[in-house]
């Protein structure tokens, strides 16, 4: 059985989310910071009149901070019917993966990086880390 995944990068690693969870992909959206919000919440985005929370996946996955001059891209996903924006480094393509390529999260990952993954798909050239969107947004 195959699954379609929308891919994106964070700190040089390839991640993916199920295409069915993705509403759209955006760049260059203005974020409004929220005082006293947790570090994972990068702010709010006004998307055609709808206010979305923006989650910084680098903070969520305990990765190094993005360089100041680098503008993150956004993957807008739906969790429990509500849109949420995920800040990512770059957007990749849509790839088809098969269940026989799937394995549990690699032992080299620890902490949140491991907790927030469903597992990994072995692609020809690299590993595709499958993000658990429900857990990534809930955390």
Is 130 or 124 the better-scoring residue by pLDDT?
Answer: 130
Are the C-beta atoms of residues 76 and 83 closer than 8 Å to each other? yes
C-alpha distances out from residue 31 to 7, 9, 40, 64, 66, Å: 23, 20, 13, 20, 15
pLDDT digits (tens, 9 = 90+) for 41-86: 999 999 999 999 999 999 999 999 988 888 899 999 998 888 999 9
| Residue 29 pLDDT grade (very low, low, confident, very high; cuts 50, 70, 90) | confident
Residue 92 confidence (pLDDT) above 90: yes
Q: What is the pLDDT of residue 80?
A: 86
Residue 139 confidence (pLDDT) above 80: no
Residue 93 confidence (pLDDT) above 70: yes
Q: Average per-residue pLDDT in the chain? A: 91
Question: Whole-angstrom Cα distance, residue 125 to residue 81?
Answer: 34
Residue 138 confidence (pLDDT) above 90: no
C-alpha distances out from residue 60 to 1, 90, 96, 126, Å: 30, 17, 26, 22
DSSP symbol at 100: G
Q: What is the pLDDT of residue 54?
A: 95
CATH topology of domain 2-138: OB fold (Dihydrolipoamide Acetyltransferase, E2P) (2.40.50)
């Amino acid at each position: 059985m195959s699954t379609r995944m929308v891919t994106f990068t964070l700190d040089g690693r390839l991640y993916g989310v199920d295409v069915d969870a993705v509403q759209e992909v955006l760049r260059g959206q203005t974020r409004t910071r929220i005082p006293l919000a947790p570090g994972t919440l990068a702010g709010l985005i006004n998307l055609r009149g709808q206010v979305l929370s923006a989650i910084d996946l680098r903070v969520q996955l305990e990765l190094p901070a993005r360089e100041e001059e680098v503008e993150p891209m956004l993957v807008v996903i739906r969790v429990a019917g509500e849109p949420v924006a995920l800040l990512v480094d770059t957007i990749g393509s849509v790839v088809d993966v098969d269940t026989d390529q799937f394995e549990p999260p690699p032992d080299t990952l620890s902490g949140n990086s491991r907790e927030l993954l469903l597992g990994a798909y072995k692609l020809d050239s690299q590993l595709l880390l499958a993000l658990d969107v429900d857990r990534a947004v809930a955390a």
